[in-house]
Amino acid sequence: MASVKLSVVPSLLLGAAALLAGCSSTSDDKTATWSPNKLYAEAKDEQSSGAYDKAIPLFEKLEGRAAGTPLAQQAQLEKAYSQYKSGDQAQAEATLDRFMKLHPASPAMDYALYLKGIVNFNDNLGAFAFLARQDLSERDQKAAKESFESFKELVARFPDSRYAPDARARMNYIVNSLAQYEVHVARYYYSRGAYVAAINRAQTALKDYQTVPALEEALFIMVRSYDALGMTQLRDDTRRVMEKNYPNSAFLGRGGGVKSAQEAWWKFW
């Protein structure tokens, strides 16, 4: 009998220890007695002060406690925003994808699409970013295209959304940047004497994008590349097209040289 008692006592002690640990864990959670509204208010305070790492877990708790309510949806969107602001782009995008899958009819869907576009858009680029030496065209093109698609869906589905005007402006900027990326590559090839490759990339910009500033340089690179290859007929034809569309082109007035890769494209128009 003694051996039985000895084996039971440790089990009882372990059970008691586990119970105490559970109580301790619960008492350590200062939010345990908070109402959903207080939890939301505290999370927003942390977010507003820039403490996104503290705001995220609070929004996660709110999601669970307010499950099935509009407040839970709001918490999910706020969490995505905090993840984005904390630099965790992948998690922010995953949170938004989950939100859109779970709540396809949410009245906040336009904001979710807008935020997803912003997550993939360079957040250092503001309304006057074209005046800074920041070139989205040399960054991740996949992210830029995903950003464009989110804004495009927003504008198509919610044309009267408060976020639509800004989405349209960002779409325009992205298109210009993607076109400039092709020109950037064409310029790179030209500078290294790969004239056929330069022509091909310049033609891609002309084919895929319309009425964007970068096309002026695309035509000019083609003129110079055809000239370097001794293809005078194509050179002259392309130059005529360029002179017709850009009669006051700074490129044609600079003695015929293609600008260096270090120069910002917007400085010439």
pLDDT digits (tens, 9 = 90+) for 70-107: 999 999 999 999 999 999 999 999 999 999 999 999 99
| pLDDT surpasses 60 at 202 | yes
Range of lowest pLDDT (44-48, 138-142, 159-163): 138-142
Burial (Cβ within 10 Å: 0-12, 13-18, ≥19) of residue 96: buried
The dihedral over CA atoms of 51, 40, 62, 68, expressed in degrees to the nearest 10, equals: -140
Give the global pTM. Answer: 0.71
C-alpha to C-alpha distance for 34 and 111, rounded to whole angstroms: 28
- Domains in the chain: ranges and CATH: 36-99 (1.25.40), 181-268 (no CATH)
Q: What is the mean pLDDT of the chain?
A: 82
CB 198 within 8 A of CB 190: yes
Give the per-residue pLDDT at 122. Answer: 67
Range of lowest pLDDT (43-57, 138-152, 235-249): 138-152
